[in-house]
Amino acid sequence: MSQRVWCAIVLLSSIWSGCATQPGPPVPPTGIAQLQLPMDAAALRRIAADEEAKGELTRRREILGGINRQLLMPPPDDVFAPELFDFVVVLAPRMESGTVSPAWASYLYTTYQRTLREERPDGRPRRPAAAIEPVVDGYIEFYRIRLDPRAQQRPDPAADGFEAVRQWRDEQRLGR
């Protein structure tokens, strides 16, 4: 082949490769937020019992503020905090057992909070903790939420931290 033919081939291939579709930026995460409880169900129950006996709201308000922050919501008003915390206490064992996934938990929590604000804007009368259990069971039955044996159990934050450090260390190694 002549030099002109090679030049034409090189030119056409470079034009073709330049016009080929380039991979776009990574797709941003989508989907529903996934609720991660800051502690286990037993610890949440103890906090609820301790503060209810003392008439305080400090720790419950902080925990609910963290949960709402995860879900990109403003912290709940103080009049709603005791009942919302009771809802979280009832929901926690179901999350630990895997019956309710973190995504479903976020949906149920936000639904309960929205309904609470609509039906009782002043937070009164407060639903007793024992009356919240049938509400959660009703949500689970209505939405037909079932244990998914293929789903992973609640991740361990310590294991996630360890894996993150290991991945960072491996990325920082030179010459290996």
> pLDDT tens digits, residue range 110-139?
999 999 999 999 989 999 999 999 999 999
Query: Domains of the chain: which residue ranges?
Result: 41-152
The pLDDT value recorded for residue 34 is 85
- Give Cα 52 to chain centroid, integer Å: 27
- In this prediction the pTM is 0.69
Q: How confident is the model at residue 4 (pLDDT cuts 50, 70, 90)?
A: confident
Q: What's residue 26's pLDDT? A: 42
Residue 1 has a pLDDT of 61
pLDDT (average), residues 85-109: 93
Q: HEC profile for the chain?
A: CCHHHHHHHHHHHHHHHHHCCCCCCCCCCCCCCCCCCCCCHHHHHHHHHHHHHHCCCHHHHHHHHHHHHHCCCCCCCCCCHHHHHHHHHHHHHHHHHCCCCHHHHHHHHHHHHHHHHHHCCCCCCCCCHHHHHHHHHHHHHHCCCCCCCCCCCCCCHHHHHHHHHHHHHHHHCCCC
Q: Which amino acid is at 29?
A: P
13-71: per-residue pLDDT in tens?
A: 766 666 555 555 444 344 567 889 999 999 999 999 999 999 999 999 999 999 999 99
